[in-house]
Amino acid sequence: MTATGVLPEATAEAVVDRPDATPGGAPERSLQEVRVVDAALRCIARWGVAKTTLDDVAREADWSRATVYRLFPGGKEAVLETVVEVELERFFAALDGRLRAAPDLEDLLVAGMSEAGARITGHPALRFLVTHEPEVILPQISFARAERVLARAASFASPYLARWLGPEEARRVGEWVTRIVISYAASPSESVAIADAGSVRRLVRSFVLPGVRASVDAQARARPVS
Amino acid sequence: MAGDARLRILEATYTCVARYGLAKTTVEDAARVSGMARATIYRYFPGGRDQLVAEVIAWEAERFFERLAAAVGDTEGLEELLEEALFFAHRAVDEHEVLQKILQTEPDRLLPQLTVESTRIIGYIRAFLMPHMEEQARAAGLESEEAADFVARMLLSFTGSPGRWDLSDRAQVTELVRTEVLAALRPAAGPTVTDDTMRPS
């Protein structure tokens, strides 16, 4: 019944232990690898992780099992690891595009939070896992594990935030908005649609910017007047 | 009477989970520890083992927040209430032996259930907070429900994963409440740094 162990420990490490894996520094993926990853994603969206076999992935990619094995000698576990890495690279690359274009802090927060919210709540494979195989995905993102997700997301976000905030403040806000996105993506709310830019702008204006100001003010007051 | 029996079964199941874990707790165990017949247990929990385990998790989650509500009962003002809540909840999670044990040994069984519960838990905290924040919400031009929803989410998030904050440190809890939990509802203290500081440098 349970699919524990289906998502290997190494995959979990890959999710969060590569804080330096910025879009620019991502390894080049071969077209074949990407084709296998996309095939695996379609299989997972349809049947989940436990029931997806390497044969399914090969058939979906329109290749022989032998070809897939040549690309991924580690078999299903290796494919899953690469799926997680590629999806994270795509996630951060998409965010990078949006964040670079933001003209001010409010737009940066709105673009980043709604883009992340849309990609998390609209990801077909992730949706299948959350609904049908929560035991595969949740242990990677809850309690102690959540700390690593928060740290990874904060280090990704802080260089963009640092255009407007000090480095320490940028890290703090990066971690904070990650929490906010995770909460609204995991437990839908009547007042906020986390994938909707208009709704997120209201959230940012009402709740996020006041928190940023309060913290910046507190630090300004703590600084000795010369 | 029916409530008593149900409660006795849940208490017995909780004892079993603490002893054997979620996967190994059976209807027979709950019957033995509660001193009730298996048939009685099935009458209250027709879904058997799976229902029993799901309901005992929901039951303990609810008890956790009842203890939390009691712990913050005699605070004055919203800020102090939230500080007490974070301080207590963080320690209570840390010191919850059964929770910590199951998080280590059976996260795949516990977490899906807790996530299902979390929407209900947010609702529970929100309902508790709303009467305490109506005034501040109005002053800030917000609906008290949306404000309470946001604050409830932050409390739950920081309780489960404190991140960069040390919630055993009172001064940090105070700062956390003033910035990431309640800033929207606090009148700005002292002179406000202008938005110029938030423009690109």
Q: How far is A132 from chain B (nearest CA, A)?
A: 10
Show the tokens assigned to B100.
Answer: 């910590």
Q: Give the closest of A150, A165, A220 to B161, CB-based.
A: A150
Tell me which of A126-130, A187-191, B137-141, B196-200 is least confident. B196-200
Asked, for residue A10, whether it belongs to a domain, the answer is no
Residues A65 and A167 both lie in one domain:
no
Using CA coordinates, name the residue in chain B closest to A192.
B146
pLDDT digits (tens, 9 = 90+) for B91-132: 999 999 999 999 999 999 998 888 888 888 899 999 999 999
Q: How far is B118 from chain A (nearest CA, A)?
A: 7
Asked, for residue A200, whether it belongs to a domain, the answer is yes
Residue B12's CATH number: 1.10.10.60
Residues B94 and B178 both lie in one domain:
yes
Whether the Cβ atoms of residue A216 and residue B180 lie closer than 8 Å to each other:
no
Give the model's pLDDT for residue A177.
97
Cβ contact (<8 Å) for B201 and A146?
no
Asked, for residue B198, whether it belongs to a domain, the answer is no
What is the domain range of residue B43? 1-52
d(CA B11, CA B18): 11
Question: What is the tally of structural domains in chain B?
Answer: 2
Residue A79's CATH number: 1.10.357.10
pLDDT-derived band of residue B146, with 50, 70 and 90 as boundaries?
very high
Residues B90 and B160 both lie in one domain:
yes
Phi-psi label, residue A41: left if phi above 0, alpha if psi -120 to 50, beta otherwise? alpha
Cβ contact (<8 Å) for A139 and B107?
yes
What is the domain range of residue A201? 104-220
Cβ contact (<8 Å) for A216 and B198?
yes
Q: How far is B140 from chain A (nearest CA, A)?
A: 9
Say whether pLDDT at B143 is over 50: yes
Q: What is the mean pLDDT of chain A?
A: 87
pLDDT digits (tens, 9 = 90+) for A9-24: 444 444 444 444 444 4
Asked, for residue B149, whether it belongs to a domain, the answer is yes
Give this complex's ipTM. 0.85
Residues B83 and B143 both lie in one domain:
yes
Cβ contact (<8 Å) for A104 and B198?
yes
pLDDT digits (tens, 9 = 90+) for B33-87: 999 999 999 999 999 999 999 999 999 998 998 899 899 988 888 999 999 999 9
Residues A97 and A110 both lie in one domain:
no
Residues B85 and B154 both lie in one domain:
yes
pLDDT-derived band of residue B194, with 50, 70 and 90 as boundaries?
very low
Show the tokens assigned to B125.
Answer: 């905290």
Pairwise pLDDT comparison (A139 vs A77), residue with the higher score: A77
Asked, for residue B84, whether it belongs to a domain, the answer is yes
DSSP summary character for residue A225:
P
Residues B169 and B80 both lie in one domain:
yes
Asked, for residue B58, whether it belongs to a domain, the answer is no
Residues A139 and A186 both lie in one domain:
yes
CA distances from residue B66 to B60, B63, B75, B128, B155 in whole angstroms, order as listed: 10, 5, 16, 10, 15
Question: What is the tally of structural domains in chain A?
Answer: 2
Give the model's pLDDT for residue A224.
59
Cβ contact (<8 Å) for A138 and B112?
yes
Residues A118 and A185 both lie in one domain:
yes
d(CA A172, CA A155): 10
Asked, for residue B201, whether it belongs to a domain, the answer is no
Give the model's pLDDT for residue B88.
94
d(CA B74, CA B60): 23
Residues A85 and A113 both lie in one domain:
no
Interface A-B, measured as beta-carbon pairs within 8 A, has a size of 133
Q: How far is A73 from chain B (nearest CA, A)?
A: 28
Residues B46 and B92 both lie in one domain:
no
Give the model's pLDDT for residue B188.
60
- Residue B182, classed as helix, strand or coil, is coil
Give the model's pLDDT for residue A24.
47
**Percentage of residues of chain B with pLDDT beyond 90:** 77
Cβ contact (<8 Å) for A216 and B114?
no
Asked, for residue A7, whether it belongs to a domain, the answer is no
Give the model's pLDDT for residue B113.
85
Contacts of B178 in chain A (CB under 8 A): 214, 218
Using CA coordinates, name the residue in chain B closest to A219.
B193
Asked, for residue A69, whether it belongs to a domain, the answer is yes
B28: enclosing H helix or E strand: helix B27-34
Domain boundary among A76, A101, A126: A101
- Four-point Cα dihedral A22, A24, A27, A31, nearest 10: 120
Residues A214 and A115 both lie in one domain:
yes
Asked, for residue A97, whether it belongs to a domain, the answer is yes
Using CA coordinates, name the residue in chain A closest to B178.
A214
Residues A75 and A114 both lie in one domain:
no
Helix axes A105-121, A75-100, angle to 10 degrees: 150
Asked, for residue A226, whether it belongs to a domain, the answer is no
Q: What is the mean pLDDT of residues A109-136?
A: 94
Domain boundary among A75, A101, A127: A101
Q: What is the mean pLDDT of residues A205-219?
A: 91
Measured in whole angstroms, the distance separating CA B69 from the mean position of its chain's CA atoms is 10
Q: What is the mean pLDDT of chain B?
A: 90
Residues A114 and A50 both lie in one domain:
no
Say whether pLDDT at A4 is over 50: no
Cβ contact (<8 Å) for B179 and A183?
no
d(CA B131, CA B146): 13
Give the model's pLDDT for residue B180.
96
Using CA coordinates, name the residue in chain A closest to B152.
A183
Residues B35 and B80 both lie in one domain:
no
> Considering only CA atoms, which of A161, A209, A59, A53 is closest in space to residue B192?
A209
Asked, for residue B143, whether it belongs to a domain, the answer is yes
Percent helix, percent strand, percent coil in chain A, to nearest 5: 75, 0, 25
Whether the Cβ atoms of residue B189 and residue A217 lie closer than 8 Å to each other:
yes
Asked, for residue A71, whether it belongs to a domain, the answer is yes
Asked, for residue B141, whether it belongs to a domain, the answer is yes
Cβ contact (<8 Å) for B111 and A214?
no
Q: How far is B108 from chain A (nearest CA, A)?
A: 4
Residues B34 and B109 both lie in one domain:
no
Domain boundary among A49, A73, A101: A101
B161 CB near a chain A CB, below 8 Å? Answer: yes
Helix axes A167-186, A209-222, angle to 10 degrees: 150
Cβ contact (<8 Å) for A191 and B145?
yes
pLDDT-derived band of residue A207, with 50, 70 and 90 as boundaries?
very high
Cβ contact (<8 Å) for A164 and B198?
yes
Q: How far is A32 from chain B (nearest CA, A)?
A: 33
Asked, for residue A6, whether it belongs to a domain, the answer is no
Cβ contact (<8 Å) for B179 and A134?
no
Q: Give the closest of A135, A146, A211 to B112, CB-based.
A: A135
Q: Give the closest of A104, A144, A189 to B199, CB-based.
A: A104
Give the model's pLDDT for residue B104.
92
Residues A207 and A115 both lie in one domain:
yes
Residues A33 and A131 both lie in one domain:
no
Residues A129 and A153 both lie in one domain:
yes
Residues B178 and B95 both lie in one domain:
yes
Residues B104 and B141 both lie in one domain:
yes
Q: How far is A134 from chain B (nearest CA, A)?
A: 5
Contacts of A192 in chain B (CB under 8 A): 146, 149
Q: What is the mean pLDDT of residues A112-123?
A: 96
Residues A62 and A164 both lie in one domain:
no
Asked, for residue B199, whether it belongs to a domain, the answer is no
Residues whose CB falls within 8 Å of the CB of residue B67, separated by 6 or more in sequence, listed in order: B92
Residues B41 and B137 both lie in one domain:
no
Residues B45 and B83 both lie in one domain:
no
